[in-house]
A = this chain, B = another copy of it.
Amino acid sequence: IGEQAFQRGELVSAELVALTYGALVRQLFLDYQAPEDVNEELERIGYNIGLRLVDDFLARSAAPPCRSFQATAEIVARVAFRMYLGVSARPANFAADNTAYSILFDTNPLAEFVEVPDAVANTLWYSNIFCGVIRGALEMVQFSVRASFTRDMLRGDECNEIRVCLLRELEETVPLDKET
Contacts and interface: CB of A to CB of B under 8 A. Distances in A.
Interface residues of A, number: 33
A83 interface: yes
Given A20-B21, A23-B24, A13 B15 contact: no
A69 interface: no
Interface in A25-50: 27-28, 30-31, 45, 48-49
Interface string A50-80: 0011001000000000000000000000000
Copies of this chain present: 2
Given A20-B20, A21-B20, A24-B23, A13 B10 contact: yes
A92 to B, nearest CB: 23
Nearest to A23: B45
Given A11-B14, A12-B85, A12-B109, 18 more contacts: A6-B11, A9-B13, A10-B86, A10-B109, A11-B12, A11-B86, A12-B13, A12-B14, A12-B84, A13-B86, A15-B84, A17-B20, A19-B52, A20-B21, A24-B24, A27-B45, A30-B31, A52-B113
Interface of A: 6, 9-17, 19-21, 23-24, 27-28, 30-31, 45, 48-49, 52-53, 56, 83-86, 109, 112-113, 129
